[in-house]
Structure 1
Amino acid sequence: MKSISSLASLLIICALSVSTYPCFAENGIGFFYIVLQWPGSYCNTKQGCCYPKNGKPANDFSIGGLWPFYFNGTFPTYCNPHSSFNLSKISDLTKIMQQNWPSLACPRSDSKSLWSREWQKYGTCSESLLNQHQYFEAALNLKEKIHLLKILN
């Protein structure tokens, strides 16, 4: 039971059609995982949580990540160490990201280090499909389309 509570993220496979996105066949991305977490479960773990400096996030699932998965069965990470996170590229998304993709880790932060880590670890592996802005926007759009809290209610 402890492992279930420590794995508070829910994985939802968002399969994307190769015919809709023909470049998927070229670079091998089969689909993306959108990882959603319930803040209450995260905060209930041993490490606890600290709400972001800008306040408590929305009372909903929050984004934990958007992870590419290749057709060949591999789950890539850290694909381009030369592609740095640049906050100015997502400046129009930061307000909504603070509500929907907050860092709950302690000490409190403004979530920028979380977003940077997610870009470096997973976003760079989808760069042939999605630039930095498109990567974060895609995660926000998927969360909105799925609306997991409504489904569970």
Structure 2
Amino acid sequence: MKQTMAAKSRSKTISLLALFIGILCLYFPVTTTAVVAESGAAVDLLYLTLVWPGTLCRTGKCCMPTKGKPAIDFLIEDLKTMDQYGQIIQNSKPKCSFSINQMSSLIPDLYSNWCNLSCPCNDGFTNWKKTWCNYGRCSELNQTSYIMTALNLTASANLLEVFQVNGIVPSSSDSYKLGDIYIALMANLGLSTQVECVTITKGASNSTLLSKINFCVSADGQNFINCPFDIKQTCDRELWFYPFTRKQLKKCRKDYVSSGGLIKMATEKHLAM
């Protein structure tokens, strides 16, 4: 009985602590500007950014990828390398070798969870290459491990499930409090997350939409860690989390497809030098 009461007390204390920290994040944000540092600087952490496609399609054009079908979920934007102050560590070397054949087993997951919904329609290859060439080469991981790390972290975060168990589901009729978003994230992922929003204007009214969730990750890509910095607050206290369906994606004609070309396995068409 005493153990049960103690457990309840600890649970209540944790909830109150999460709420208190959430309030601090909302009202007293410590902001940092993402400055690009030279590739020789020390990489202290990785920074995973997941985007909500429902907001992307609501605020602009979104197109069906030329390969695969996007997951009805948060999608990977990139995985950056950073120092402890929030400065981006970026590789400045002009040449970069990126071989798709090295990670052929990851292609189905990449098409589903790391697709690029921007227009014109594309196969997502440019995003994977950019992430590796700009950031991955600064890390301690090889190409396949770096790309796999982004996929594994996304699956581990399981954002839609985290929100659903806390009563937060995509909706066109109900908005949510930013504080509740943070509490749901902190209860499951600690202080590793940072939220970004976009604002759209209709007539005289503004609406804030949930756009991205960022995660601070250990430099080896194994664990979510507490973010040692904060970002500029872009969310109001009330925000929208609109639904996403594949019907929102525009299908492109062949002459509207990105010139990057399609990935053809068993070749090195996409070996970039």
**Same fold flag (TM > 0.5):** yes
Instruction: Provide the secondary structure at the position in 1 that maps to 2:115.
Output: coil
TM normalised by structure 2 equals: 0.43
Distance 2:57 2:138 in 1: 29
TM-score by length of 1: 0.74
Give me the whole-angstrom Cα distance separating, in 2, the residues matched to 1:55 and 1:88: 17
Residue 3 of structure 1: aligned partner: none
1:37-78 deviation per Cα after TM superposition (whole angstroms, max 9, x unaligned): 0111112223x1111012430100001111111246531123
3-state secondary structure, aligned to 2:105: coil
User: 2-side partners of 1:78 and 1:30: how far apart?
Assistant: 15
Q: Name the CA shift for 1:40/1:131 in 2 (closer, same or farther; >3 Å).
A: same
Question: Aligned partners of 1:56 and 1:41: how far apart in 2?
Answer: 18
- Aligned pair partner of 2:148 in 124, 132, 137: 137
Aligned twin of 1:40: 54
Partner of 1:108: 121
Unpaired segments of 5 or more residues in structure 1?
1-26
RMSD of aligned residue pairs (Cα, Å) = 1.9
CA distance in 2, matches of 1:36, 1:72: 21
CA distance in 2, matches of 1:150, 1:79: 38
Cα 1:37–1:72 shift into 2, 3 Å = closer
Secondary structure of 2:89 counterpart: coil
Distance 1:73 1:130 in 2: 20
% identical equivalent positions: 37
Q: 1:120 to 1:152 in 2, by over 3 A?
A: same
* Pairwise CA distance, 1:79: 4.0
For the pair shown, which has the larger CA radius of gyration, 1 or 2? 2
CA distance in 2, matches of 1:41, 1:116: 25
* Residue identity matched to 1:30: D
Q: Could you list the per-position Cα deviations for residues 8-49 of structure 1 after superposition, in whole angstroms to 9, with x for gaps in the alignment?
A: xxxxxxxxxxxxxxxxxxx72221111000111112223x11
Question: Is residue 2:150 matched to residue 1:147?
Answer: no
**Paired residue for 1:12?**
none
- Report the Cα distance in structure 1 between the residues aligned to 2:100 and 2:162, rounded to whole angstroms: 32
